[in-house]
Amino acid sequence: MNTQTFFAIMQRDFKVLLKEFDEFVIRVAVQPTLFVLVFGLVLPKIGEIPQGYINLIAPGILGMSMLTAGVFSTAIPLAWDFGATREIEDRLFAPISVRAVLLEKIVMGMIQAWLAGGIVFPIIYLFTRQNLNIQVQSYFFLLLILFLTGIISALFGMVLGTTFEPIKFSLMFSFIVIPMIFLGAAYYSWDSLKAIPWLKWVTLVNPLLYVNEGFRAILTPQISHIRLEYSLIGLIVSSIVFTIMAIKGFERRVYN
Amino acid sequence: MNENILEVVNLRKIYNHRNDSVVALDDVSFKVKRGEIFGLLGPNGAGKTTTIGVLTTKTIPSGGKAFLGGIEVAKNPLEIKKRIAIVPQNYNLDRGLSVRDNLIFHAKYFGVSKEEREQRADYLLEEMDLYGRRNDQVLNFSDGMKRRLMIARALMHDPEIIFLDEATIGLDPEARLLIWRKIKELNNKGVTVFLTTHYMEEADRLCDHVAIMDKGKILVLDSPDQLKSMLPDGNIIELRLENINDEFLSSLEGIKGIKKIETGIDVIKLFTDGKDNIVQEVFGLVFKFKLPVLAIQHYSPTLEDLFIYLTGKGLHSGD
């Protein structure tokens, strides 16, 4: 691979990201902040939910924030590039393989997912530190989950961005991203779904489930969670499936 | 060095859709000499953009081969991309970057050294009359400025050949003339230019060689002058009428010296043998039928006339 071109394209993406970094922070931080405010501070204070509820949802808030940041970092620019502006052509016509351009997009999506995690975690901690009980089980596995979450987010965004036209995005968001978030075991643990067995099994197709349950296993092991090995398998299988779909989608839109 | 920079051999491209397949390129072969301006002339949908797509690695051919500088395009896209530059039909400038950064980053992608890319960017901005706007956002540019910036960007990595797909489409006449001048200038500096157009005047004025294309096939290929001489000797009389009367048409057929008649909705083109008396006879018929004539022209043939002569339809018929 032509690394010089690869890093030049990355430099371009960083430049564009930094230029709008304040917007990025707002996009990433507002929703989780409100979430933490309501579920970690307001509702426990007025006695609607127990004080420790934040421990149940903290891994989920982290997981879905990372996922949405990663998904949108690749999905939106790609949908516009392929559906309307074709701005990416300048990079596709650069002396680098099409798959290397795709890889660069994934790396940038991962970085943005991690940045989102880095912004959101301190927010959770800041608002709820009296009740928050985080016990990191293994830094190695934490990093592994962070890595896989980044990859899955970027790849999934790529699949969406190469499938949907920009004008269909709000529809896609309502039909795909919102259900993923709500049924991704962010607000409850998967194990507690034994009350509704069919939902328990259906939601296993949701990759966000493995992200959230994986974080739960590493960060708040006192809450019931899917065994870490199974979450890892879920994450790896999702990565493989999304890799194949992303490559297919991307190449289909590049070549015609 | 090989005299031909491009060699296209029996190129085919078939697009398979759900129910049918469309033949976009049907056995296309041609050669482009190093240093010339080569034009592909044809109506919308003739296969011009598909041809450029194949030559620039973007479109994978269904059959045949294309060689650029002796390298087969489909086999070594990376090497090809280093040698070519593309100015596509749509405006694909990077709106996340400033005007000057569009050039700088393009050069970075191609590994041009810092000193060289800074120098070249300023030089090309100056050349394209954009230096004063170098720190602007691309978003606020007019179409003519965007086109010039795209040409500047294409030249940043010093390509051997530049592909311009409908470079002046949608531009006002002044902006078009400026683009023509810039194309001529860069060609004078040794860059081979491959352009597509459906403006016959553009092909006529700029190109050393023109291939006329229709429905995925190349009909003829030669210099503009040679092409025009392919028309039967003589001139063309063009009549614009409010409506065309069949009786009048059959009377025209009776005039000696008219070799071919092409009709449109409100226009009749007569390919004549060039004798002066024909104009008078046509006038005579117009008066006889008391036809409301909007305009009459008597002129030497253009490339558009050749296209009509070859295909029986106008270049803009698809517009």
pLDDT tens string for chain A (256 positions)? 689 999 999 999 999 999 999 999 999 999 999 999 999 889 999 988 998 889 999 999 999 999 999 999 999 999 999 988 899 999 999 999 999 999 999 999 999 999 999 999 999 999 888 889 999 999 999 999 999 999 999 999 999 999 999 999 889 989 999 999 999 999 999 999 998 999 999 999 999 999 999 999 999 999 999 999 999 999 999 999 999 999 999 999 998 7
Is A94–B92 a contact, with Cβ atoms under 8 angstroms apart? Answer: no
Cβ count near A173 (within 10 Å): 16
Among residues 88-107 of chain B, which lie with CB inside 8 Å of chain A? Answer: 88, 90, 92-97, 101-102, 105-106
Helix (H) or strand (E) holding A202: helix A197-202
The residue segments making up the domain with residue A63 are 3-255
Closest CA to B74 of A255, A102, A100: A255
Phi, psi of B50 (to 5 degrees): -60, -40
Q: Which of A90, A101, A253 is best to mutate for the B interface (most B CBs within 10 A)?
A: A90
- H/E element holding A133? none
Percent of chain B with pLDDT over 70: 97
Residue A209 identity:
L
Beta carbons of A33 and A41 less than 8 angstroms apart: no
The secondary structure of B221-278 as a DSSP string is EE-HHHHHHTSPSS-EEEEEESS--HHHHHHHHTSTTEEEEEE-SSEEEEEE---THH
Note whether ipTM > 0.85 here: yes
Q: Show residues of chain A in contact with B102, CB under 8 Å.
A: 90
Pick B92's closest partner by Cβ from A4, A11, A86: A86
- The identity of residue B215, as a single letter, is K
At residue B183, what is the residue type? I
**β B209-214/B217-222 pair status:** antiparallel
Q: Which residues on adjacent β-strands are paired with residue B11? A: B28
Alpha-carbon distance A77 to A4, whole Å? 23
Residue B164: which pLDDT band, with cuts at 50, 70 and 90? Answer: very high
pLDDT-derived band at B251 (thresholds 50, 70, 90) equals confident
Does any CB of chain B come closer than 8 Å to the CB of residue A9?
yes
- pLDDT band of residue B307 (cuts 50, 70, 90) is confident
- Nearest by CB to A8, from B58, B59, B109: name it: B109
Nearest residue, CB atoms, A95 vs list B82, B86, B95: B82
Lowest mean pLDDT among A177-191, B89-103, B305-319: B305-319
Chain B residues in contact with A85 (beta carbon < 8 A): 92, 95
Rg value, chain A, Cα: 19
Whether residue B175 contacts residue B143, with contact meaning beta carbons closer than 8 Å, is answered with yes
| pLDDT of the residue at B313 | 72
Give B33 or B245, the one with higher predicted confidence.
Answer: B33
Tell whether pTM > 0.90. Answer: no
Using CA atoms, how far apart are residues B137 and B20, in angstroms rounded to an integer? Answer: 43
For helices B143-155 and B114-127, give the axis angle rounded to 10 degrees: 140
B311 in contact with A, Cβ within 8 Å: no
Locate tokens 């403006």: which residue? B199
Where residue B71 falls among pLDDT bands split at 50, 70, 90?
A: very high
Chain B 251-270, CB below 8 Å of chain A: which residues? Answer: none
Which pLDDT belongs to residue B242? Answer: 82
3-state SS string over A32-47? Answer: HHHHHHHHHHHHHHCC
CB B262 within 8 A of CB B308: yes
Nearest-Cα residue of chain A relative to residue B62: A256
A14 touches chain B (CB under 8 A): no
pLDDT for B315 beyond 70: no
- In this complex, the residue of B86, B95, B111 whose CB is nearest that of residue A93 is B86
Q: Looking at residues B251-269, what average pLDDT do you find?
A: 85
Distance from the Cα of A87 to chain B's closest Cα (Å) equals: 4
- Residue that the structure tokens 């033949």 belong to: B23
Give CA–CA dist B54/B71, Å, rounded.
13
Query: What average pLDDT does range B23-44 have in this prediction?
Result: 94
Q: How far apart are alpha carbons A212 and A125 in whole angstroms?
A: 17
In sequence order, the β-bridge partners of residue A111 are: none
Report chain B residues whose CB lies below 8 A from the CB of A2: 78, 111
CB distance A11–B105 less than 8 Å?
yes
Q: Residues B148, B128: contact at Cβ < 8 Å?
A: yes
A70-80 per-residue burial string, b: 16 or more CB within 10 A, e: under 16: bbbbbbebbbb
pLDDT above 90 covers a percentage of chain B that reads: 56
Asked whether residue B283 carries a pLDDT value surpassing 90, the answer given is: no
Asked if B19 and B191 touch (Cβ cutoff 8 Å), the reply is no
Count of the separate structural domains present in chain A: 1
pLDDT at B319 over 70: no
Contact call for B110 and A87, based on CB within 8 A: no
Residue B318 has pLDDT above 50, yes or no: no
User: Which chain B residues are Cβ-neighbours of A108 within 8 angstroms?
Assistant: none
Is residue B2 pLDDT above 80, yes or no? no
The answer to whether residue B115 scores a pLDDT higher than 90 is yes
- Taking CA–CA distances from B81, the nearest residue in chain A reads A95
Q: Which residue has the higher pLDDT, B270 or B117?
A: B117
Q: At what angle do helices A21-36 and A3-19 cross, to 10 degrees?
A: 60
